[in-house]
Structure 1
C-alpha cells in the first residue's frame, strides 16, 4: 500500500490552494460567469459597446479566488466565440474533410479549449486579496499582453485591448499606451488621492481624443464589392472558368460605374493556375491602359509536396503588388503538420501603394487580431483594406464581431476602413 507523506511540499501547496478556493462561496463563481457572459453580449455583435470591456478587469481584480477569476474570463470567451462549433461543422463538412457530426464535435472541443487557453493567464495572474496596487497593475498588463500577442495571441480574438479604440480614437501608439494604463488603473483595489487624480487625467485625455476625432473619409473612386458567390468549387477547370467569368463581369461593371480602384474579397479567385493568367490577360491589359487598379484575393502555390500556399491580396492593373496573410485561420487553412496548408506571411511586410495611397491590408482572420496590425500604431497608413470570405459564417454573430474588430483597429489608427466580403 502506497503512503503519501503529509509533509511533501507539493502536497502542502495543493492542499493550501484547495482550502483557499473552498473558502470562496460557490455563488461567486456563478456571478462571475454571468458577468463575463453579459459583457460579451453587450460588447460584441449586435451591440459593440466597447467601453463595457472595462468591467472585466475591474471585476476580475476584485473577485475572491482564482476559480472565480477564471470563471469570468472563460464565460466571456465562451459567449463571444459561441459560433465556433457551427463554423467548424459548415467549413469541414462542406469541404468533405469531416462528417457533419465529427466536424461539430471538433468545433465544440475547439470552442471549449480556446476559452480555457485564453482564460488561464487571467487565472494564474489573479492578484490575491492582500496584493498591492502595483501588483494589480502589472498583472493586468501582463495578462492582457499574453492573450493579445503570439503564441496565445494566434487565437487572440475578443481582446480587452479593443476598449482602447473607444477611449482614445486616432491616437495610435499613445492611445494604446494610455488605454493599457486605464485598464491597469481600474483594477486597483484601493484608490488614493493620487490614483483618483490619475483617473481624472486619463478621463480628460479620453475626452480630448474624442473632441479631436473626426470620421476619416474614404478615398474617392475606391469601391469595394461584396459578393454572394458562396463556397468556391475548384475541383474542375469548368468551375474555375465559370468563377473567372463571374468575377470579370463584376469587375467590368464596377469600373464602368466610375471606380478607379476595385477591391474584391479574400480568396475569391481561388488557387491561381497558369490558365487563369490567360483568362485574365485582356482585362488586366485594359485596366493598365485605363489607369485602373484591381485588388483581388487568391491563393498562390509555393510548394507541391507537401502542398503549401499563401493566402494573398494581389494588386494588378495600373499597379502591381502583393500582401500575404500573416495569420491564416488556424486548423482550417493554417495546418503546419498537414499535407495541405497555408503558410504565414512575414509580419514585416510593408504597406502597399495603391493610387498614391499607402494601404494597410487585413486578410480575413487577421480582422479578429491585433498583433498583425502593429505597424498602424507607429506609422499611420492612408487607408485600411479588409478582405474577407465568410461563406460559412455570414449569418452568424462572428461575422459582425469580425467587422467590429477591424473597425476598432482602424478607429485607433485614425484611418478609413474599406471591407470587401463574400458570403
Structure 2
C-alpha cells in the first residue's frame, strides 16, 4: 500500500512538472508535455488517472487564479474556484476515457481524449493541449506534422514509448539547433502597447488621437496591427475619426474593438484606412465566464459576448488571406486548425493582457501562436497590450 502511494505521488509530481515546465511560455519547452500521455497510461486505477490529469492541467494553467484576481480586483479565492472549475472538463474527459486495459485500447482512448478536448463543447476549455508541441518538433510539416505528433502521443501510452520518446527527442534537438525567430510578414507590423487596464476603457477622442499618432509613426504602406480592445466601443464616430486621422497616409490598421447591439456584443477586429473602416473579424471563442455567458439566454437575459464558433476562420486584407486569433483563442486548438484548413497567408494574433500581470499567460499565448504558425510555415504578426 505504501509503495503504491509513493508510486502515485511520483506520477502526479512528474505530471505537474510536465505541465508547469512545458507551459512556461518558452516554445522550445513545449515538447515536454508529451510526457503526460505516458504518465496517464501508467496509472493503475481511475483515481490515479484523475489525479495525474488534474496535476498536469492545474500546473499548466497556474496563472489563472492570479489573473482572475487581477481582472476582478478581488482576492485570490474566486480565482482558485475558477481554476478548479476550468480544470473540470480536462480532468473529466481523461478520467472517463482512461482504462486499465493495455494494448491497442490505450492509444485509441488517449487520442479520443485529444480529439474531444480539441473541439467544442469540451474544446472550449481545451487549454494546454499536448498536440500544440507539433509546431516545435515538426516545423513546416503542416498537417503531416500534426498527424505524426498525434501518432507519437498515442505511442507514448504503449510499451513502445521509449522509441517514441527517443524519436521526439531527436526532432526536439534538431528543432533547437535550427531554431530561428518567427517569420515576419513583409510590410506588416504588430505594435505592443503598455496602457494597462485603460486600453479600451478610456476611449475618448484624446486617447484615439494618441493611438493614431502611434500608427502614423509607421512607414507608409504598412499594415499596422494593434491589440484587442484598442478602440473601445466600435461606433460610426470612432470610424470617422480614424478615417480622418489616416487621411493622406497609405497605412492600413487592424485593431480590436467591441461592437454592441441590443442582444449583446461581439469582440471584433476592425480594418481602418483613409478609404474606409469596417468590421473584419468576429471572435469565435470569447473567454467563458467573463465574456461569453450563454446561461444568460437561458433565463431570458441579454448581454455578454457572442461566440461565433466556426465563423470567419480567415479574412481578406488587401490581397492577403489572414487567420485572425484574439486572446483566448490562442490557448485553444480548433480555431487555428480551422483557419489553417483554409490555407491563410499569415496568422495575426492579438490580445489585451493587462490582467495577466505576475503570470506567464501572455508568454504562453505567444509561444502557442508561434508554435502553430511554425507548424504550417506561416508568417506571424503579434500585438499585445500589457
What TM-score, normalized to structure 1? 0.81
Query: Relative to structure 2, which stretch is displaced further, 119-128 or 343-352?
Result: 343-352
Q: Secondary structure at the match of 2:254?
A: strand
Structure 1 residues 115 and 313: alpha-carbon distance in aligned structure 2, compared to 1, 3 A threshold: same
Deviation at 1:377, TM superposition (A): 3.9
CA distance in 1, matches of 2:68, 2:141: 37
Tell me if structure 2 keeps the 8 A contact 1:86–1:107.
yes
Structure 1 residues 234 and 63: alpha-carbon distance in aligned structure 2, compared to 1, 3 A threshold: closer
1:249 to 189, 198, 213: 213
2:85 to 89, 99, 113: 113
Question: Match of 2:299?
Answer: none
Question: Match of 1:273?
Answer: 235
Deviation at 1:311, TM superposition (A): 0.6
CA distance in 2, matches of 1:203, 1:395: 31
Tell me if structure 1 keeps the 8 A contact 2:190–2:226.
yes
Structure 1 residues 210 and 376: alpha-carbon distance in aligned structure 2, compared to 1, 3 A threshold: farther
1:32 aligns with 2:11: yes
What aligned pairs does 1:31-50 form with structure 2 within 5 A after superposition?
31-48=10-27, 49-50=29-30
1:315 to 261, 268, 271: 271
Please list the CA deviations of residues 127-150 of structure 1 after superposition, one character each: whole Å capped at 9, or x if unmatched.
Answer: 21xx24210111110111122221
Please list the CA deviations of residues 259-307 of structure 1 after superposition, one character each: whole Å capped at 9, or x if unmatched.
Answer: 51111101111111233234223124434xx3x2111111112x32x4x
Deviation at 1:332, TM superposition (A): 1.1
CA distance in 2, matches of 1:24, 1:123: 23
Higher relative contact order (CA 8 A, sep 6+): 2
Q: How many residue pairs end up in the alignment?
A: 378
Structure 1 residues 82 and 207: alpha-carbon distance in aligned structure 2, compared to 1, 3 A threshold: closer
CA RMSD of aligned residues (A): 2.9
Q: Secondary structure at the match of 1:342?
A: coil
CA distance in 1, matches of 2:327, 2:180: 26
Structure 1 unpaired stretches of 5+: 1-21, 94-99
Tell me if structure 2 keeps the 8 A contact 1:169–1:213.
no
2:96 to 124, 129, 135: 124
Structure 1 residues 141 and 213: alpha-carbon distance in aligned structure 2, compared to 1, 3 A threshold: same
Question: Match of 2:105?
Answer: 135
1:396 aligns with 2:355: no
What aligned pairs does 1:124-163 form with structure 2 within 5 A after superposition?
124-128=96-100, 131-163=101-133
Q: Secondary structure at the match of 1:384?
A: strand
Structure 2 unpaired stretches of 5+: 297-301
Deviation at 1:394, TM superposition (A): 4.2
Question: Match of 2:374?
Answer: 411
2:331 to 368, 380, 384: 368
Whose radius of gyration is greater, 1 or 2? Answer: 1
Question: Match of 2:195?
Answer: 229
What aligned pairs does 1:4-403 form with structure 2 within 5 A after superposition?
25-48=4-27, 49-93=29-73, 100-101=74-75, 104-128=76-100, 131-189=101-159, 217-232=183-198, 239-254=203-218, 257-258=219-220, 260-287=222-249, 290=250, 292-301=251-260, 303-304=261-262, 306=263, 308-317=264-273, 322-338=280-296, 339-403=302-366
Q: Secondary structure at the match of 2:127?
A: coil
Please list the CA deviations of residues 329-386 of structure 1 after superposition, one character each: whole Å capped at 9, or x if unmatched.
Answer: 1111111234431111252415222243221111111111110112344343221011
Structure 1 residues 249 and 214: alpha-carbon distance in aligned structure 2, compared to 1, 3 A threshold: closer
What TM-score, normalized to structure 2? 0.88
